[in-house]
Structure formats: C-alpha cells, structure tokens
Structure 1
C-alpha cells in the first residue's frame, strides 16, 4: 500500500514534557521531540528504516502535482540570480530523481552497528568500537528544495533525527517534501518527529538553532559563503561545513589535449551553480598556446565568459583581464578565471593562495606528476583526469549527500551515511576487576 501525504502528521513517540518556561522557542520544542524520536529511530531495524524511505519515495511521486504547484509559487516569487533560480526549480525529472534517491539510500548497507575495530586486552577484556547515530542534526540550507529530501533520507537511514531549516525562497516546496518524508515514517511505524521543519520562515529559527547547545548535536549548513560563515562564527553547536567551492582544474604539459578539452568543458559548464564546478582553469605555459584557444572556444560556445591573467590574454587577446579578487571568487555561474602557470609548482602555489580546500583536478598523462599533485594538494577531494563535477555523494557511491565538508573534523569530502555516525565502545569481560 502506498503512503499518502497529509498535512497533519501523527506522532508515534511520546512527547517530552514542556519546560516551565512558557517562552520556549519552536526550535527547542522541535529538538526535544526530535531527541525522543531519534532514540526510537536509532534503535529501529534497518528494514524498518529502509521501508520508511521507500514509502516516502512513493509519497513524493503521489504528491508530484502538488509539489510542482508549490514549486511554481516559489519560483514565481524568486528574484535572485539565474544560477540560483536553477537550483530552486523542480520539474518531473528532478522530482523523480529525488524519489529514486530515497530508494537508492534504502539499498545502501546499514551504517549502524558496524564494528569499526575490535581487540582483546592482556587481562582478557574484549573491546570493540561500534558505529552509532550522532543524535539530533540541524540542517540549514538555501534554495535547493531537493536538499531537504536528501538530508532527511540520510538521517533516517543513519538513525538520526533532523530539523530542516530551508531558505524562505523554497518554503512551499519544502513543506510538500517534508509531508512526504513524514508520510514515509508514518507508514513504516516510525515517529514523524524524526524529520521536522520550523512552522514558518522567521529568521529567528536560524539563531535559535545556532544557540541550541545540548539540544542539537551537529549543525550542517549548506548554502552561500555568508550563511556558512555566520553559522561557523555564531554556533554553539559543532558544525560540519564548507565555506565555498572554489575548485581548480590544472591542465599539465603532458595532458591529452582532447581529454583536457572534454573534461574542462564538463567541469565548468555541466552545472555552473554547484559547489563542485571548476571556477579556475590553470593551464601549463608549455601547452597554453596550442590548447587555450580551443578551450576558450569550447566554453564560449556554451555561454561561458572569462577573467584571464596577462599571460592568457597574450595568447587569446579578446579575453577580459582578471583582477586579484576574480581568482578568489566562487562564481557559481558561467564565468571562468584563467591563469597560465609554469609547471606543477606554480599550479600548487596558486591553489594554496586562492583555493577553498574543496576539490582540485589535474589533467596529465604523467603519473609521477599526477601522484605529486594528489599528495601535495591539501583539499578534501583531489582528482586525476576527471571532472571536478564528480565531487558528489552519488558519484562516490554514497547515495545522496548532505553536503561537502572541507574542515578537518570529523569528515571531509562528500558527507554520506558513514559520516553521519559516531561510535561507542563496547567492553566484554568475564569477571575482571581493576587492580
């Protein structure tokens, strides 16, 4: 039987008694209910969690017409840049992709209960490290309504409750998607409070989430640089984030020229508004005179514009000049910065100076150079002879992703199921006491 979307979810978990303070915030109330729901979800079997995702996928498909109408209202009210508008738009194909994404996550191995390590001490104690849910996750994101479905799917599968605070520009779409996720939970006999959204678009909810120490265990921001910087600056809760995706593709002197043209075009123009899009092309001086004119022609034909350094403009005079700020800009649009470099040392130095530790790629047939680039590029993801647009959880085999992490702890790169777990230690004895 298929799950249906309803506007009034049934709560399968007991309510946490409200605090005496009558001024309790909506976020605090949601977080307390999420804590209870998360305990139920985290102890549910994999089959039950997977069933919730499959029911939610059916509910999304059943709500297709409602979701398209809601999204049309969001798009009609949107007044931002074209690249961000594209992120907001849902159509039949994108809705189906969301539904399939839920089913794909359901097919992935269960991340909970994995024995990460085990050993026996000289006194006979057996110890093992076992994967467990993080707890309550707060997701703050902008524009893309599909992020809500992806995040909810990963949290359900990994046994985490989640509070989803999407941008006000996608609120109508988010409400329909949220109803579908709760319909899936309900149909599987799981508490609907495991996936919640704030009741309105009040900006206070973001501030309350940032201050929710002890209520929310992990915050994950996904959006523009200003949003992420604010979250990192003001949060009293651990944050898993990346500030921006200023990705580079370096075409080395030993590159296959046809391969380079194909990869660079895809890395920039496949989807210009995603964080894995290449923003800066670094091209080796040894091949720039031969390769750069063709690359520029390929990109320009697809609508790309440019900002180029003096050496690149000496080869293609019509290129607009680049400023220092251009090389430090995440365009998220059909704009590419170009610099001609003197070998791998110069390329690495450029990436260190301007990069955001997200994703970098080298195109070369020289294995030794590629190995050095991979070893010396300190970014979350480094690629050899591949488009930076592959920096995506689905392409890594993680299913949907909740974001890309560029920090040091506790995850880097695409954040999927395993990255949404922590661990505990289980100790087995047979009567040992400590001397």
Structure 2
C-alpha cells in the first residue's frame, strides 16, 4: 500500500534523480526539535528513495539560541548531510528573517509560536521561499486566504503542517474506511487532551491569550484531521463541506478556551463527527479516535496526533441491534522517530514534482478548518487581544 499520492509530472522531471529539500528551521522549541531529529533519519529506513533532507539554516530570536539548538539537535545537519550528499553544516542566524534570506535555503519550516505564523509565512513567500507552517497556520481564515493568494501569485509551495495527515496509521485507517471495511460510516469520535491547567502558569503558550493559546488552536487540529480525512474526503461525500451544528467552549480567566467541542454533520453520508479537545485532563493513551460503521468499528490506539496501531472490530451479524463482534484484528504499525518525517517527505516530493500545494493537505481544507475555528471562537466568545490578527475577518 502506497502512503504517497500520485503526482502529475512534466517531461523535464527525472523521476529517479534524488531531490534534496534544503530547510531553514525557524524557532528552537519543542516541535522544531522533533522536526529536525526526524529530518536526520535516513529516508531509506522508511522506504523513501526519491527525496532527502538537509538542514541549511536555523533562525532564532538570538544567535546564541540558534547556535545552541544546532549543537544540541542537528550539529551535522539532516539525513542528506549525514550521508555526505550535501557538503555543508547548518548555519545559525540571530533572526528569522536572516535565516529565510539564506540563498541556499529552498523551503522554510515555521515552528514558532502561533501568533508569529502569519507574519513569518508572509515574509517567506514575499521573499521567494516555499513554506511549511506549523498548525494552526494562522489565527483566522482571513489570514490564511491572504497567504494562499500570495503563494499562488508567487508560484510557491505553501502548506499547513498538520503532520498527522501523513501518519501511516491514519493512511491505513482512511483506506479501510473509504473501502467500506466497516460498512457505511455512522459516527466518528475523536479527542485530544493535555493536563496543563493548574500545572503550567497562565503565561504559558497554552494558556495565554497574548500567545493565542487555548485548546482549539493548539490541539484542535488533531481531532479535526480525523473527521476531515475519514468523512469529508470519503468518496461518497463528494467533497461536500460539513454542517457545523454545535460548538461548546469553556473559557479560562485569561480568555482562551480550556475545552472545546465541535459537532459536524455530513449529510451525504448520514454521518456525524464529534471532535473534542481540552487542557484540563490527561489524555487516554489507549483510545483517542473511534470510527463506527454499519458493519463494525475501528479504534485508533495511541495519541490522536501520532498513533502507531489500530484495531478493527466487525459485527458478527450487522442486522442485529447491539450485536456481538468477531475477535478484534489488531494492526501494529511501528515507526522510527516522532512521525514528522512523513510530512517532510511529502513536502520534498511536492517540491520535486513542482506542486504548489499538497494533494493531502490542500489550501481549501486549511481554509475550511480555519472557518470552522472562527465560528467556534465567535460562538464561544474567545476574542483574541487587539492587534494579534494581522488580517481581520471580512477584509
């Protein structure tokens, strides 16, 4: 089973030639550390032969931070550098803009705080650089619309980094669901939680309104990606946007959401999705996502963001109400690293084949997701501090 989409190619593209994505890493935090660690893993270890990765530049708010990050996380660079395919080591820069302007950089990874995503992505595109921006790509749908238009005008690649879309378990479950292995889809339940409330200060990136924190923007994309890939992308749905019939939000005293639930209906499928996130409780590591069909169910095991196994539970008699199940079929899909390398490989493949957006993570789906978030925040009265949103809704 292929984990990669088919790409339209031109006669000028050599399919067998190795393409090396030359990355600038912006931000030296937790997610950037995982990203560069995964870029160091040999693509051949996961069956990838056509692309590899070099870490050319690291940008931080100070030169010392960038230098320290390189020495700790990627002193020799990425897999291409460690294999001797690229003769350079990462260069440290004391500003994000300097790193993006490095002439050897072909693609930018933005792993900074939520409030900086739009400005940095806009700068990258304005200066002719392809861009992968961590989720949430922006703070609202108007910001994303501007970035998407700019990328198209400049003929550059742009993608929101919802890395779970490229996870092998999600791809396998998506194939099984769309193939009809559990019959007609009835319900999808997907949850993600972190117990940071009362354990981290209100100034943390999760709880601070000034940093655009909260459950929805920070971890909301994880349950949402399961709903969109399983239901919105289902062949019988015919790319019909969901109806959002309910949102519930619990606000913190800082103004951000501590918990949010979003209920979506898919009329063509006669199916419903329940997506929930919260910062109040520790996550249930055994089960985060459950997809129920007319002939059985699939339970995704492990974190919603990076599962490594799933089980299929089929009804013995699908006509019986409350019927018994056959023994569970468990599918373990272990992989090295954190799981961000699958996303990086997909970006490199898009660049190799000249695509300006990924077939797995289309601009239109990011826009639709941001519009759902806009509506959830409006109904929940989560209002970002003045000046954080660089483009206002309605502009």
TM-score w.r.t. length of structure 2: 0.38
TM-score w.r.t. length of structure 1: 0.35
Q: Who wins on radius of gyration, i.e. which is larger?
A: 1
Larger strand percent: 2
Larger helix percent: 1
